[in-house]
Structure 1
Amino acid sequence: MADIEPRPPALSEALPSMAYRSWFLFIMVLVSASVQGERYLMVVMVEPIRRELGLSDAAIGMVKDMIIAIVYILAIIPLARLADRWSKRKIVAIAATVWSAAIIVCGAAKSFWVLLIGRAGIGLGEGGFTPPSQAWIADLFPIRQRATALSIFLLGASLGTFLGPAVGGWAVQEYGWRNTLIFASIPGFILAPIVWFTLRDTRAGLADGAPAAKGPAISFLQTARELMAIRTLPPLILAASLNALLTMGFISWAPAFMERTHGMPANEAGLQMGGALFFGSAIGHTVGGPLADFLGRRDMRWYVWILMISGAMATGIGWLILTGSADRVFPLYGLNMLIGGLSAAPLMAVVAGLVPSRSRATAIAVLMVSIQVIGLGGGPVLVGWLSDILRPIYGEDSLGMAMRWALLVGVPSTILAWIASHSCRTDFAAAGGWNGAAINHAIH
């Protein structure tokens, strides 16, 4: 995609009031809940869709998850590049319209291919929403408040992941899967004009006191070289991706593990798992940002140390999950999600704070692609592959043994985060926006 010239610095140089920024965060939480809810809504309508459209399980797997991941990965970096050079407000509003229209396409689908196109639209909308929303938050909140703001933002994802299947399951029973999908499109169509007309674009780097960008836009290859030259960034992104690999490997196989190892029915395991994941992630996301901002005032390395500590602790809790009794498994899963959730907002704050403000959305996109490919894509596959290899030796216990071997991923992830912490203070200082003068000037 051709680079677009930066907008002239005609935006206000004054940081908006806290009242406006609170409204902004509230709307971003709702928008995030909308796209997450629409993405995960289909988990409760697999059977009626499969029966009515005559789809195989493989086809269901493609439309439910794989096509969204493929389109998301392909679209997110080009759309992030656009967000770094155009209006984040307009991109977010358009993205909400796209995924809302896509869910209507899904509801009207009479064939596999139409359903596939609709689900692809959801992936496109999500890819257009993630980088500009996080970069926009970074432009509005100074670094000492940023992790807290991102924690609030992450509540939208937890809320959508919970409400989509919960409300959707009831609606499918009452109104059928097609009408449920039509109803689900309404929030996005309401929120898109609210974003367009009540929010306003903010100059990149405003909250950090950075000067307005001048000159022609740099190419993607130049941007990539610039990002990879930040010593903290590569090991930090890889550590986060390995943590995601471990987390997704455990989550995706949890019901099967409970059925094979403890004899628990899959539907009961799924229900308990959903509750544990929601409450654990919601608490972790809520606490992680304020905790990082509090500790970061004493030593900025805490923004990275939280990722390192949470990865190491999650590995230890994973061992307890696999070796403990059945009644401890889901409380420990909830604790694992809480510990892992602590690092989400600090991680986003560090990535946004380390890179030039003109490249924030692109850096966030690189992080998300790495997490999607290594974590969400690699975790379930790694555990399944190990289980197949170990089956001739352990039989039905091979899955549990494979999950134990997967815990070894926690070792390099912890080491990489520790390596990242060594250079982060120097990189923070070089990035600017972390000094007290800039922060005090930005806070009203």
Structure 2
Amino acid sequence: MWRISTRIRPANCTPCSTTILTICAPRPRTLKRPGAKRFRLPHTAFSARAETLADPTTPPPARVPFSERGRRGDKDTIMAQESVTPPVEAPDASGVECPSEEEWPIGRKAAIFSCSIVFLLGVFDFIDRQVVASLLPYIKDEWSLSDTQLGMLVSVVNISISVLVVPSAYFIDKWSRKKMIALMGAIWSLATGACAFAGSYAHLLFARVFIGAGEAGYNPAAQALIAAQFPKRRRGTAIALTQLGMGLGAPIGLIAGAWVASHWGWRHAFGLVAVPGLVLSCLALFIRDYKSVDMRADKGESAKKKSSLADYVAMLGVLLRTPSLLCVFAGATLKLLRTGAAMNWMPSYLMREGGMSPVQAGSVSSALFLGSILSMVCIGPIIDLTRKYRAHGIPLVIAVCFLLQGGLQLLAFTALPAGGWTQIAVLFVGGVFGGGMAAGFSTIIVDLVHPGARATAISLMVLCQNILGFALGPVVVGFLSDNFTLGTAMSLLSFAPLLAGLAFVVCFFTYRRDAAKVDCVNLSFEG
């Protein structure tokens, strides 16, 4: 028990600053309960009370009612009663305390509003990009264009995105995310509307270049902003919803463009889908953004200076030397290589190998795409559930999904009859496993990258996806089809998700080491 002395102060006592008394902590005593081993209570449990009483500004500890006290000898209960100071979260290596993962940085309603705007902008992003695919026959008849010229109308958007995505990310990280979202949305919407007034093929091609310029900075800015506004335990679901909007926009653009063109002409289709994007771009200005932060580790005088282009290049070098990020870039590129090739060649495969009519082949291909949309709906909660138990297990979940997708597709193209319902069902299940993994890519990148470089890291992934994925996939399958058969080409294409799965297996082993290098930063949001 405690004793009070006014004359002698042992070495293990703490003087009280408000009285002349000296509060002395007793020696650690040994307790024993029936049927249990002896254990010793640590002296720190009592020193916390002595230190608290030594501060005159600290209120005295609350007395625990006798009815709420635990049994004599219950170690955890005694420790909880004696310790009155709550645990303090230790700062990280940079000296900044990590924010709680359970908090909503800007509030639940404001975060949901931001996610809704980003989701709808993602829908019209891909509507404006893909609407031209359903209008190609009408444009070909009006201007007597070749198939090469028509294909250029589609490819020029990806080329423009590839050229401008990294420069756009510089302004996203250094300037403002919400302003870049609004600016990008306005650019691609105005460019889509300008397509309706094109007087020649050159004018239409030039307008399509600006559609890609607007879409270049949208995805990195949206992912970086949404990741910061939601608590970490909900981050996977929030990012998956933004990716779902893009997935829904592609089929909506094809259906809406064909319907409007058949009733009022192809020019009206461009004009109709451009208006909602302009409205949503204005609403994006009401999103709460966080203040840009510097990635440089030192917080001295050099951090007060404005970051230069050399600092940005150095930051790119840091990102490209992170093993886990390189694995994500490789896996995402292989995934898009398979997706880009399948979207363009699956109808032809079903017609040549399965004997389907063009209408049947198009319908089945659209149904297979629904499996990817279902995957986008499921992957977000799965990522959040995995994070709850083991955060570094997220790459392993993605790897398993890709390996299952690749195995099922290899089985469908090599062992099952082409165009049969069994093959279609197996391909659909494979699409469910691996079709919506884009949210997982962005989640890993956000976890492994400083907030001041997240948009840049995502832009590097988008660059690899567009150059080596969407652009290269159809060409590779066409080359293999010319030298072998289309069925053989589709079978070999199944190895892309298998290799992507292996890349994320490697990421699983490097994830924790790279995550430990990331500094925790308290982001400050606009009022």
Aligned to 2:113: 23
| Paired letter, 1:108 | F
Aligned to 1:199: 287
Q: 1:375 to 1:384 in 2, by over 3 A?
A: same
Q: 1:244 to 1:402 in 2, by over 3 A?
A: same
Aligned to 1:400: 487
| Paired letter, 1:101 | L
Task: Quote how far apart the aligned CAs of 1:220 are.
Answer: 3.1
Q: Is the 8 A contact 1:288 1:344 kept in 2?
A: no
| Residue 296 of structure 1 pairs with residue 387 of structure 2 | yes
| Paired letter, 1:227 | L
| Residue 380 of structure 1 pairs with residue 474 of structure 2 | yes
| Paired letter, 2:345 | W
| Paired letter, 2:118 | M
Q: Is the 8 A contact 1:151 1:285 kept in 2?
A: yes
| Paired letter, 1:49 | I
Aligned to 1:107: 196
| Paired letter, 1:416 | A
| Paired letter, 1:241 | T
Runs of 4+ more than 4 Å apart: none
Q: Is the 8 A contact 1:303 1:347 kept in 2?
A: no
Q: Following the alignment from structure 2 to structure 1, what is the Cα–Cα distance between the partners of residues 195 and 407?
A: 42
Pairing 1:39-438 to 2, within 5 Å after superposition:
39-63=129-153, 65-196=154-285, 198-204=286-292, 215-217=305-307, 219-277=311-369, 279-322=370-413, 323-325=415-417, 326-390=420-484, 398-433=485-520
The Cα offsets for residues 372-414 of structure 1, whole Å up to 9 and x where unpaired, read as: 1221122111111111122xxxxxxx11012222333344322
Q: Is the 8 A contact 2:174 2:292 kept in 1?
A: no
Q: Following the alignment from structure 1 to structure 2, what is the Cα–Cα distance between the partners of residues 183 and 135?
A: 30
Q: 1:166 to 1:205 in 2, by over 3 A?
A: farther
Q: SS in structure 2 opposite 1:430?
A: coil
Overall identity of the aligned pairs, in %: 26
Q: 1:205 to 1:18 in 2, by over 3 A?
A: farther
The Cα offsets for residues 285-339 of structure 1, whole Å up to 9 and x where unpaired, read as: 1110110110122111221112211221111121233132322343333323221
Can you give the 5+ residue segments of structure 2 that lack an aligned partner in the other structure? 1-102
The Cα offsets for residues 336-391 of structure 1, whole Å up to 9 and x where unpaired, read as: 3221234221211111110111111000000111111221122111111111122x
Aligned residues: 411
Q: Following the alignment from structure 1 to structure 2, what is the Cα–Cα distance between the partners of residues 182 and 381?
A: 32
Q: Following the alignment from structure 2 to structure 1, what is the Cα–Cα distance between the partners of residues 392 and 476?
A: 31
Q: Following the alignment from structure 1 to structure 2, what is the Cα–Cα distance between the partners of residues 242 and 158?
A: 18
Q: Flag the structure with higher helix content.
A: 1
Q: SS in structure 1 opposite 2:322?
A: coil
The Cα offsets for residues 3-36 of structure 1, whole Å up to 9 and x where unpaired, read as: xxxxxxxxxx982110110111011110110111
Q: Which has the larger radius of gyration?
A: 2
Q: 1:244 to 1:89 in 2, by over 3 A?
A: same
Q: Following the alignment from structure 1 to structure 2, what is the Cα–Cα distance between the partners of residues 179 and 411?
A: 43
Q: Is the 8 A contact 1:139 1:205 kept in 2?
A: no
Q: Is the 8 A contact 2:392 2:511 kept in 1?
A: yes
Q: 1:405 to 1:94 in 2, by over 3 A?
A: same
Q: SS in structure 2 opposite 1:203?
A: coil
Task: Quote how far apart the aligned CAs of 1:41 are.
Answer: 0.8
Q: Following the alignment from structure 1 to structure 2, what is the Cα–Cα distance between the partners of residues 171 and 250?
A: 27
Normalising by structure 2, what TM-score?
0.74
Q: Following the alignment from structure 2 to structure 1, what is the Cα–Cα distance between the partners of residues 234 and 341?
A: 32
Q: Is the 8 A contact 1:306 1:346 kept in 2?
A: no
Task: Quote how far apart the aligned CAs of 1:205 are.
Answer: 7.2
Q: CA RMSD in A?
A: 2.4
Q: Is the 8 A contact 2:130 2:254 kept in 1?
A: yes
Q: Following the alignment from structure 1 to structure 2, what is the Cα–Cα distance between the partners of residues 341 and 205?
A: 34
Higher relative contact order (CA closer than 8 Å, sequence separation 6+): 1
